[in-house]
Amino acid sequence: MPPGGHARYAQEVQTSLATLGGETGWHAPPRAGRRYSGCRMSGYRLPGWGIICHSSAWVHLPDVASCLHIHPDNPQDRLIDQAVDMANRGGLLVCPTDTCYALACRIDARAAQERLRLIRQLDVQHDLSLMFSSISQLSDYAKLDDRSFRLVRRLLPGPYTLVLPATRDVPRRLSCPQKRSIGVRIPGDPVCQALLARLGEPLMGSTLQLPGMELPLTDPDEICERTRQRVDLVLLGREGRQECSTVLDLCAWPPRVLRHGAGGLEPLEDTGVPL
C-alpha cells in the first residue's frame, strides 16, 4: 500500500485500475524523479506516490496541488496564466463553471484524462464533454446547421450541454462511436471563460462529483481539501451549484432533453420540445 497514510484511496484506486485494465498491485517506487523505460505517460497519480502506470513503473510528481483563490467576477491574469501553464503541461485541473465545479484537462492530455476517469471511477465508454470559449471555436468540433446554430446562440454561454454531430477533424476517441457526436459547453462563469479564452483550446471536463457522494462538491474550502492530492491545480471562485447542466440532444429535430438541470426549457418553446 502506498506510504503516507492514504489507505482510504487504496480500494478506490485498485478498483479503478482494474476497470481500466491497469495493474492493481502496489510497487515500491524507485528514486524520486527517475523514469523507467516501461512507463508510458498514461498513468495514475496517487497521493504521495507519483504515477502508477499500466506497466507498474512510475514517475514522481508533487504531492499537493496549489489551490488558487481567484476573484469570481474579475479573475486575476497571473492566476489564469498559472492554470493555463499547468493545462499546457498536461495537468489535471479543478475549475468553476456556471453550474458545478469541474475536473478539466486538454483534449490531448491522455494521462490527465485517465486520471480524471480514475477519480470519477468512469469507464472508457463514459463520454466527457468539451468546454469552449466561443461558438466560433465550438464550430471547429461540432456541425451546426441553421436551426441548431440559432439555438446554440440562444442558449450559450449558459448552463447547457448540447450533443451535436462531430466534425471529421474530431478524433474518434473524443466522440460517441455509435453516433459520432460530442457533448459541448460554453460555461458562463467568468473564471472558466477567462481560462478557456487564454488557453485558446477547448478543455475536456466532467462534474466534480467524487465516488460515493450523492451530490457534487460545492464549498471551495472542501474542494481544495478533497482534491488537492489528486489533481495538479485547483482554481477556486464562488461556491458551486449542486445542479448540473441541462443536456439537450441536437443531433435530430426537434431536440431531445436527455437530462433536466440548471438550464430552463423556456428558450426551447418554438422548437417542438415537450416542456
Residue 129 maps to a domain: yes
Q: Would 61 be classed as within a structural domain?
A: no
Rounded CA gap, 90 and 184, in Å? 21
Summarised one tens digit per residue, pLDDT across range 126-157 is 778 999 999 999 999 999 999 999 999 999 99
Whichever domain contains 219, its CATH number is: 3.90.870.10
Residue 23 resides in a domain: yes
The verdict on residue 194 lying in a domain is yes
**CA distances for 261 relative to 86, 156, 227, 247, angstroms:** 30, 15, 24, 7
Shared domain for 17 and 113, answered yes or no, is no
Between residues 3 and 237, which one has the greater pLDDT? 237
On whether both 71 and 44 belong to a single domain, the answer is no
pLDDT for the residue 170: 77
Q: How many domains does the chain have?
A: 2
Backbone angles phi, psi at 36, to 5 degrees: -80, 150
Q: How many angstroms separate the Cα of 126 from the Cα of each of 118, 121, 175?
A: 12, 10, 10
Owning domain of residue 250: 66-268
Q: What pTM does this model have?
A: 0.76
Q: Inform me whether the pLDDT recorded for 119 exceeds 50.
A: yes
Q: Looking at residue 114, what is its pLDDT?
A: 93
User: Which grid cell is 47?
Assistant: 497521493
pLDDT exceeding 70 applies to what percent of the chain? Answer: 73
Please give the pLDDT value at position 179: 64
Distance CA(170)–CA(100), nearest Å, equals 26
Which tens digits make up the pLDDT trace of 196-231?
999 999 999 999 999 999 999 999 999 999 999 999
Alpha-carbon distance 186 to 182, whole Å? 13
